[in-house]
Structures are given as C-alpha cells and as structure tokens.
Amino acid sequence: MKRRVFAGLVNAMSLSPSMIVALIALFVALGGAAYAVDHVPVNGRHNAGSSRLDATGIAANPDVGQTTVVNRAAPQAITSGSLTSVSWDSERQDDGGWFTLGTPDRITVSVTGVYIVTFNGSWSSGPATSFVASDIFFHHLERIRASDGIQEVLGAAQALDPHDASSASIAWCGVLLANDAIRIRVEQETGTTQNFGGKNRVSGNPITDSSNAELSVTRLA
C-alpha cells in the first residue's frame, strides 16, 4: 500500500525538463514583480523596508545569487525500511554561510527570498545487475519551517536505478522564509543495509559527476 501511494505521488509530480524550466521562469518572474512592488519608489518615496539603492533606484540586494552546494562524499549506511536524513559531509560552496557541520542534515537560509533547490542522489551499493522491482529507493526533498517546525515535502523521486543520479533528481523553486531549512531524507526497501552517496564530485569528470549525491540551494530574488 505504501509503495502504491508513493508511486501515485511521484507520477502526479513528475515533470518534463521543459515544464521545470517554464515553472522556474514563472517563479522568477513572480518573485521579481513582488520585489519591485516592495522596493520601487512611488511618488518619490521609497516603500517601507527598503534601504540602500543601486544605480536603478531599486534597493540593492547582495544576497541574490548566493549558492550553497553540499555533497555526500563518504558512503552513508541506510537501514532498509527506515526513512533517514542524509548527513552531508562535504561542502563545495557556501556563499551565505547556510551550511554547518554542526547540523549536517540541512541547509538553512538566512533571509526570505525566492530560491531554487536541486538534488541529485545516487547509491554506492545496491542491486546493480540484479535489480528487481521490489528493490525500491525513495528520496524526499523537505522544507522545515522556522516558524513552527512543520516539515513539508516539496518533491519526491523514486529511483529506477539506484546507481544513476538522474533517476533520483528533484528540482523545486519557490519562496523560503528566513531560517527555513532544506533537507533530503531517503529510504530503501531491499531488505539489507545500503550505502547512499560515496562518490565525491570531481569537476570535469563526467563519470564521477553523473554519479554524485548533491544538494544545492541558490537565491534568485
């Protein structure tokens, strides 16, 4: 029953690459419009909440474009049938200081804004050539709200091949509030312990890059 419900959720949420790009463009446009409403001067006066102005007369925002990228370089053992938070152990980029090894299971944004979140997951152990339908690998992209601690599922993926990061990729774009956290939780039902991650990304190496376990958060507006 659990698998059928999850599969229905995944099918309902599955989007083509072109649709993902279109949605991202829509979110960016909406975010830019909201930003302009809040910051563009009206009748010679600046709206409340705005501060420093750039050359266009709009309040400068140094946080836009900041990115945090974390990786699971060493294998993380995941017990069968247990929904487990990924503990990221390698920081590739952290412009805004959103990641700390003190809380390695999450990226916590510091300011309210429009963000794009991407995840690619792969497993360094699993039923490679002997893969069967019952060996299911789940991936959940979650937001932990700073206001009340409520956990929201923003996206989900069910891996068809646990070794292929493209089969477990998730993309989401939307508004995050200050101190909201993003995390990934995974689950596998092979009946034995499996290792998540364990293939550190090496720039320029397509084989290693394509098998990466990585979470990225970027502020768009």
Domains and CATH numbers, the chain: 64-219 (2.60.120.40)
> Per residue in 36-63, pLDDT tens?
434 433 333 333 333 444 455 444 566 7
Q: Residue 112 above 90 pLDDT? A: yes
Q: What confidence score (pLDDT) does residue 133 get?
A: 53
* Residue bearing the bigger pLDDT, 77 or 61: 77
Q: Residue 218 above 80 pLDDT? A: yes
Which DSSP category does 53 fall into? B
Window from 81-85, 116-120, 174-178, 187-191 with minimum mean pLDDT: 187-191
Window from 15-19, 34-38, 118-122, 203-207 with minimum mean pLDDT: 34-38
User: CA–CA separation, 74 vs 83, rounded Å?
Assistant: 19
Distance of alpha carbon 43 from its chain centroid, rounded?
40
Q: What confidence score (pLDDT) does residue 136 get?
A: 76
User: CA–CA separation, 181 vs 57, rounded Å?
Assistant: 32
